[in-house]
Chains A and B, each alone.
Chain A
Amino acid sequence: DAKTTQPNSMESNEEEPVHLPCNHSTISGTDYIHWYRQLPSQGPEYVIHGLTSNVNNRMASLAIAEDRKSSTLILHRATLRDAAVYYCILLNSGNTPLVFGKGTRLSVIA
């Protein structure tokens, strides 16, 4: 199974942009890159996903490297509410489950 590697933790100042990296050097052509986050004491929530092109939604942007071996989740202006564990997950079109790794714990400083 294709795996992802993320830093254990990151810190950001409030109102600043945050770039959360994810390496997935063994990604296959049919793997979609999904991002979820888990706020304290809550279940995970979907953030964004993409295949090859960069994606934007109301929550974040996803920048995917041309070779697809890495991607970056971009929060344009971090708020205190964005403090969470962020997970980068690869999902293909087969019947593989959504499995969470350790993720990156993002701290936001006021």
Chain B
Amino acid sequence: GAGVSQSPSNKVTEKGKDVELRCDPISGHTALYWYRQSLGQGLEFLIYFQGNSAPDKSGLPSDRFSAERTGGSVSTLTIQRTQQEDSAVYLCASSLARRGVRTEAFFGQGTRLTVV
């Protein structure tokens, strides 16, 4: 597709279960970001992948959260042992980096995660 695709669009899970959220960035984009947004709150940065560099994991809230990006393309955000406070919309974005300069980031529609 032409844009950033995230799946699933909605996920309801029981407390304590693990979940995986998927992001398909725009083809060729070297930078990929994950954010979460709780209801009525701002965008919280989680993790950033840039090319072959080590990811910037400084925003991950706990060791229950992890992410990987395979082959420089698709990314998966995994939340282990989900808690109710993990309920939020998880957003993924991708962008190009030309000669080190980031171009505009395109966002997916997000995955709404509800932990019951």
Contact = CB atoms under 8 A, between A and B. Distances in A.
Interface residues of B, number: 25
A49 interface: yes
Contacts of A32: 101-102
Interface in B84-102: 91, 93, 95, 99-102
Interface stretch (A16-24, A74-82, A87-95): A87-95
Interface residues of A, number: 22
Contacts of B106: 46
Contacts of A102: 42
Contacts of A93: 99-101
Interface of A: 32, 34, 36, 38, 42-46, 49, 91, 93-103
B14 interface: no
Contacts, number: 55
B48 interface: yes
A100 B101 contact: no
Nearest to A38: B43
A97 B59 contact: yes
A96 B93 CA distance: 15
A96 to B, nearest CB: 8
Contacts of A46: 104-106
Given A46-B105, A102-B42, 7 more contacts: A36-B105, A49-B104, A93-B101, A94-B100, A95-B50, A98-B48, A98-B102
